[in-house]
Every structure is written in C-alpha cells, then in structure tokens.
Amino acid sequence: MPRYDDEQDNEGLDRIVIERLRLPARLGILDHERLREQTVCVNLEFGLPSTSCFESDDIEDTINYAVVADRLRALATCRHYNLVEYLAEQMANLVLEEFGASWVKLQCRKIRVVPECRYVGVSITRYRQASLSYPARALAQTEASLHPGSC
C-alpha cells in the first residue's frame, strides 16, 4: 500500500481511499507522447464532507467513489496536458469542487516513461478553503499550531 510522506497528519480523519486507479491520459511534452494516450496510475485519499453516512447507510450521504473514478477518467482524456503536475492539480480540484471533499491527497504517476524507473509522478495535498468542514478545519488548526506565523 502506498504511503504519503505526511500520512500521519490525517490519521483518525474519515476518508475515502482509491488506490492504483489506472487511467488513460493525454499527457506529456515529447512528440511521441502527443501522438497517443498513455496510462497514468492515480492514488488518492479524500476527506468526507460529513459523517452522516456512518449513521444513514445512504449513498447520498457520502462521496460515490465509482463516480469519482469516472469523472477522473473523463478529465484525463478530455484534452492534452503537458505536465503531470497540472493534471494532478485539476484532478484534486475536481474532487474538492464537484464532490465537496474537505481535503484530498493525490499521487499521479506516469508509468515506465524513464527506462531506469517504474514510474515518475507527483504527490499533492489540497484543502477545501470555503466553509471548512470539521476534518479540514481540524487539519488547518493543527498545521497553524505547528507553523505559527506562517501564511
């Protein structure tokens, strides 16, 4: 199981996990990358917008991970992206804005593009800024106490 460098920052917070989601993507700056789709592997965790799903057992009270996967697939193929960093940012924004997640950690990897390694990629963490839910608010407060005086 992949670990994020700062995974302990979110321990105890309720989350949805999607691992090793393989998606076709139009991605890259090299000529041969512009000619065909390539596969990216995405790992993500995101905070639930509320805890009501634990009491209701109703899909409407949570984030449907199958729908998230479908939307990420559509995003990855809707246009050409030059940078994996930009694609990852767009994916994180989609999860925050369309699904109301309180935070998202996302790894986006290009597979076998450098002969000497299995993958190259980026790992990002983003927080929902407007109307912070409890998990995001708790994270923001914890980070602020760890880094007083920072913006």
Residue 72, pLDDT > 80, answer yes
What global pTM score does this model have? 0.77
Summarised one tens digit per residue, pLDDT across range 100-110 is 999 999 999 99
Write phi, then psi, for 62 (nearest 5 degrees).
-140, -170
Could you tell me which residues come within 8 angstroms of residue 47 by beta carbon, excluding any fewer than 6 positions away? 10, 13, 14, 15, 101, 102, 103, 104, 133, 135, 136
Looking at residue 143, its pLDDT comes to: 47
Summarised one tens digit per residue, pLDDT across range 120-136 is 999 999 998 754 444 44
Looking at residue 96, its pLDDT comes to: 96
Q: Closest Cα to residue 16, out of 102, 76, 89, 91?
A: 102
